[in-house]
Structures are given as structure tokens and as C-alpha cells.
Amino acid sequence: MTSAHSRCRRGSPTHSSPKRKHRSSCQPADHKCSTKKRAGRSLFIEQIFPHVQTTPDYAPLPTQITTHLAVYSYAIINEGDAPAVIQAQVGPDGKHFAADVEETILPGETGVIAIARFLRFTRLAIRSLHADKPTTVSVYFQAQTVR
């Protein structure tokens, strides 16, 4: 058996010496292996962007740092009379972003966007589907983290 397979065997020697107890290099000497999981507490986070007016070009909403979030998504409510195009964008540094998921939200509809790819920063960009028909949307960013 390799040492990688025997890391959590209490009292098993790592070498031929029976006096020496197993010790992982990343754990303290008194570490005891356990399969119990700690009960994590979740924290709910919400940020609301009410009544955002669309334009013919993509206009980004403020950026969220999503590194520490376990789950997050955006709810978009189209309150106007024209379709809106919503594009989720991810970026490594808060300055450079790439398109991730895009969805068209019809008037009176509610859409949900969940990010498909992970990078440290996330934001939505919004535009009108038709250049001459702006609309109004409200956006809810909701997230959950475990600490």
C-alpha cells in the first residue's frame, strides 16, 4: 500500500520502524483522522439593481467578487414592453471579462441566469434586443456561502 492510500490510518508506521507513528506532512503530529463533517453555516447574500434602463449597447452592472461563494445566480425581471438581452460575464481580474451565458428576457417575464464557468469576478451586461425599443429590468443577485 502506498503512503497516499494510508494517510488516515491511525498508528500505522510510515517506515519499517514500529515506534514511528504515521504523520502527514501537512497535519500536526497530534492530528486524528475523522470522517465526521463539520456542520457549516450558510450565509445568504443579496444585491438588488432596481429599474435598470436598457440601451442598444451592452451596459455592465457592478461586478461581484464570487470567489468565496458556493452558489450564486441572477434573477432578471423585465418590467418593460420590449425584450432585453442579458449576458453573464466572468473575469480573472475585474477589468477583463468574457461572455459566459446569454439569455433574452421577454416583456413581463422573469429569467434566471446561473454562471456556467468560474472565474474570480462575475457581472451582468444588459442591452435592448431592438435598438429603438429600450426596456426596464430589475436584477437580483443572490448567493449563498458556507463558512
Could you read off the pLDDT of 97-144 as tens digits, one per residue? 999 999 999 999 999 999 999 999 999 999 999 999 999 999 999 999
What is residue 39's predicted lDDT score, i.e. its pLDDT?
55
* Structural contact between residues 86 and 124, judged by C-beta atoms closer than 8 angstroms: yes
C-alpha cell, 27: 497535519
Distance between CA atoms of residues 14 and 49, nearest Å: 57
Q: What per-residue confidence (pLDDT) applies to 41?
A: 74
42 — pLDDT class (breaks 50, 70, 90) = confident
| Cell representation of residue 66 | 464570487
Q: Using an 8 Å Cβ cutoff, are 14 and 23 in contact?
A: yes
Supply the pLDDT for residue 21: 46
Cell for 136?
Answer: 426596464
Mean pLDDT, the chain, rounded, equals: 81
Q: Which of 23, 31, 34, 30 is nearest to 14 (CA)?
A: 23
Per the confidence metrics, is the pTM higher than 0.75? no
> Using CA atoms, how far apart are residues 25 and 70, in angstroms rounded to an integer?
28
At residue 124, the pLDDT reads 98
Lowest pLDDT segment from 5-9, 28-32, 46-50, 75-79: 5-9
Tell whether the model's pLDDT for residue 88 goes beyond 80.
yes
Handedness of CA 53, 59, 62, 64 (dihedral sign): positive
Mean pLDDT, rounded, for 27-50: 64
